Amino acid sequence: MTATVIGATGLIGSYLVKILKKDNFFSTTRLLVRRPLEVKNENVEVRLIDFNDTESFKLGIEGSDAVFCTIGTTKEKVRGDKEAYRKVDFDIPIKAAQFCKETGCSNFILVSSVGADSSNKNFYLQLKGEVEDAVRQMNIESVTIIRPSILLGDRKESRPAETIGKFAMSLFSFALIGNASKYKPIHAEDVAQAMVNAARNQQPGFTIYEYEEIKDLIR
């Protein structure tokens, strides 16, 4: 079994790679990256590709048994350019799902966001909702959508606003019960483990997991 990861250098992606290295269910972990990445593990295959090159991207997906997509950017990285933001957070996941379908991979696992809704006026949540809607329409045999809220874990880059948000949410997370529990902060490693477990289960259809469901997946 081959697991292909898109977004391996991000917060969730880096935990995901660590978990997959030790996982016996997948004998090969393939990382699709835009820049050279050195990984010392005989079961990890690094493929340098251009995500704007259709043929290169599709060849990267071909032969996969499960595709994990954790890729995402920030307003700071794209300097507020919404089109540039969309090319990463919409175009790449959609192409990945499309190539999954075209190459016969029946297991697609995608990180979205709590509150994702294509009718939302917030640009980020609307975009995430549009991605979910588009992937749903592709009718891939098994699609898992993971919707975390604020992510806990050590990021490589500094995000002051997010750090403040983490602190505030951690203080009041006990008060988030019932339907509001989906807004609880969650560690990126838990999200990554839930993704791997979901890939193992390969639930048929289109399944969305939020905080409580994510926790259930890793119990």
Side-chain-facing half-sphere of 184: CA atoms under 13 Å = 20
Q: Rounded to an integer, what distance in angstroms lies between the CA atom of residue 209 and that of residue 94?
A: 19
Q: Rounded to an integer, what distance in angstroms lies between the CA atom of residue 13 and that of residue 191?
A: 10
CA distances in angstroms from 128 to 23, 147, 156, 157, 200, listed in the order given:
29, 10, 23, 22, 24
- Residues with a known catalytic role: 124, 128
The residue with tokens 């969730």 is 12
What angle, rounded to 10 degrees, do the helices at 92-103 and 54-61 form? 60
